[in-house]
Amino acid sequence: MCGIFAAMTKRPLPEDKARNALETLYHRGPDGNGLWRSQDGCRVLGHTRLSIIGLNNGEQPISSADGGVRLVANGEFYGYQAIRERLRAEGCVFKTDSDSEIALHLYERRGMASADQLRGEFAFVIADERSQTMVAVRDRFGVKPLYYAVVNGDVFFASEIKALLALGIHAAWNIGGACGGLAQPHEQTSFAGIRNLPPGHYAIAKDGDVRIYPYWDWEIPTAKEMRLDDRSEEEVVGAFRDALTDAVRERLVADVEVACYLSGGIDSCAVLGLAQREMSRPIRAFTLSFEEAQYDEGAIAQKQAEFVGSSFTLIPLTGRDIADNYANAVRHAEMPMFNGHGVAKYILSREVQKAGVKVVFTGEGADEMLGGYPPFRLDAITNNVALSSSERTALIDELFSANAATRAFFMPERVESLDVQAVERRLGWTPAFSFAHDAMTRNLLSMMRPEAHAQLALAHPISAGLDRLPVALRMAGRDRLNQALYLCSKTQLPNMILNYLGDRMEMAHSIEGRVPFLDHRVAAAAARTPVNMKVKGSREKHVLREAAKDVLIPEVYDRQKHPFTTPPTRSADDPMMGFYQDVFASKAASEQPIFDMVKVNAALDAYLNCPADQQIASEGGLQQIAGVIVMQEQFNMGTAIGS
């Protein structure tokens, strides 16, 4: 795992800017760094290295034999040994033991047809001196970040926005990206003019222009095709088990120890259980613990670790920990957060680094593959024609009662706003999580300055996100649950979960997260799984429960999804209240151009009086505003503009 940047400029890039960009990425790769400049200084590649494979000779940039092609890569390529041997048989000579070098040789021999042959979590940039182009590629689900900007004909790529700012990009607000909710278009960021390279895409930069092309998409069979699937439940479960086991096995390949982040949920427990079966030594498992029992999973995680023979470490967190680390976590995320769970992952990664670990398994992606979140289950129940009206009502009541801790987030009151109506017109129905995202956006709108309010209202972030997706090609004709899963995989997953619940909080402390559920072969098995084996009754991820049953304790096997969140602030003397008061009274709060601080402080004063079960949602807006103010201070953001 590493940090990368690339520049393709009309005039030579000053070396001090290149060195500054490398410095901003040090946390992603503290084990070494490398810099390449073309003879005219107009094409530059930078790399900071976290050594995982090929510890002694994996330095980058890597160059071809004739020096015409060079590569910097971030992430891991699984199954690289077999590809390496095949390329050697074709005459390729390898300079390093690193898995990254296969991408260089594949590109030399097959051009962009090579992207689809790569398996893993990755982002890389190739400077092709022969054609005077740069090529950037991002993995299929966006596990690894890659941003780009084009300014006056100069093109820049980087693993983090901080590096782009160091290269000279001006920091200015994109209100739609900062406040548009989790269903915003997947290429948007909080920074105007800085975009994500979309997951499963590559970019070709030449003559000051960047063109984006897809090389992969998650293909979910139509409802008609699913009805023709005559496999037994046992066969479906077996296929999913085989795919997941293979993905876990491939992610155990490393020249350093591989540990595991563990919660009390089925996702990380299944990954740990399957991984431990492949190992002769106990895998170290690390779990967060919270003071409020409703949010704490420490005891069940410890029991699961003991069951599979893993080593268990509990890391307790308090409100003071969240408050003290909030600003640093936002700086690394480069986006506002709506809950302290990102900060919790930041602290978890710091403690795991202190324990001497560089690589961890994580369970992200299973919910988006198999319908784990409450809105997905609500969609499955509501649209299950095999259920009677009374059966639907009973299952929905069960779902609501089982999610008391987070239902205010995930299942708010349904309001038919203009954005929600736009979703209905585009899809012919409204996925339940659209209401959750819309509620977040409306909450923020109520506290905005008039100009910012007008810009966000005109942006229509949810419907704008849909307009940028191949709805007719990938969603039409699919079961409604599968439509919702596809939509979430293109918006919430890369925009939030894989950012401040994944890569950015892990790499803040030089930790590489490996995500077996987001292996594209696992995703293919999930896509072919019948919807009634994704959500059965009100129970999510039925196929995973059955596939991993032998490595799960009964409490995990039988447990409903409990989304990972930190407890809400409950009292006036909670450290987070002091954090809000300090941030909202700061100089940056008066300088940021988005929120009306009179309205914000009124909302803070009223916060503790709202019903206890609604506090987590109400606090979500306060946390996003706090994140905006922290970003204003950290990045000296310019005047708010629309895109």
One DSSP character per residue, 193-218 reads: T-EEPPTTEEEEEETTEEEEEE----
| Same domain assignment for residues 200 and 348 | no
As to burial, measured by CB atoms within 10 angstroms (0-12 exposed, 13-18 middle, 19+ buried), residue 168 is: middle
pLDDT of amino acid 168: 94
pLDDT of amino acid 459: 77
| Same domain assignment for residues 74 and 193 | yes
pLDDT of amino acid 643: 52
| Same domain assignment for residues 255 and 196 | no
| Same domain assignment for residues 49 and 186 | yes
| Same domain assignment for residues 195 and 267 | no
Domain end (from 185, 214, 243): 214
Contact (CB, 8 A) for 179 and 131: no
In a domain, 410, yes or no: no
pLDDT of amino acid 184: 60
Nearest in space to 373 (alpha carbons), one of 565, 568, 622, 185 = 565
User: Which are the contacts of 52, defined by CB distance < 8 A and separation ≥ 6?
Assistant: 1, 76, 254, 255, 256, 358, 359, 512
Q: Could you tell me the two tokens for 455?
A: 């810009």
CATH of the domain at 537: 3.40.50.620
Domain end (from 179, 214, 249): 214
| Same domain assignment for residues 261 and 287 | yes
Query: Which strands make up the sheet holding 33-37, listed edge to edge?
Result: 33-37, 43-49, 2-8, 154-158, 147-151, 195-196
Dihedral (CA of 262, 267, 269, 272) sign: negative
pLDDT of amino acid 88: 94
Task: Provide the 8-state DSSP code for 448.
Answer: B
pLDDT of amino acid 612: 84
Q: Could you tell me the two tokens for 479?
A: 């079961």
pLDDT of amino acid 238: 98
Blockwise average pLDDT, block size 10, the chain, 643 residues: 94 96 97 95 96 85 94 96 95 92 96 95 97 97 97 97 97 89 73 96 97 97 95 98 98 96 96 97 97 91 98 96 97 94 97 97 96 92 90 87 74 82 91 88 92 85 83 94 95 90 96 97 98 92 98 94 86 95 97 97 94 88 96 88 53
Q: 454 — phi, psi (to 5°)?
A: -65, -40
In a domain, 137, yes or no: yes
| Same domain assignment for residues 551 and 610 | no
51: three-class secondary structure by DSSP? coil
| Same domain assignment for residues 37 and 65 | yes
Nearest in space to 409 (alpha carbons), one of 433, 444, 381, 442 = 433
Contact (CB, 8 A) for 346 and 325: yes
Q: What total of structural domains would you count in the chain?
A: 3
In a domain, 377, yes or no: no
Query: Which strands make up the sheet holding 69-77, listed edge to edge?
Result: 62-63, 69-77, 120-128, 133-138, 201-206, 209-214
| Same domain assignment for residues 327 and 252 | yes
In a domain, 63, yes or no: yes
| Same domain assignment for residues 184 and 250 | no
pLDDT of amino acid 543: 98
pLDDT of amino acid 181: 65
| Same domain assignment for residues 145 and 258 | no
| Same domain assignment for residues 98 and 134 | yes
Task: Provide the 8-state DSSP code for 143.
Answer: -
Integer CA distances (angstroms), 359 to 43, 374, 556, in order: 32, 30, 24
Domain end (from 528, 557, 586): 557
Its domain, for residue 246, covers 223-368+492-557
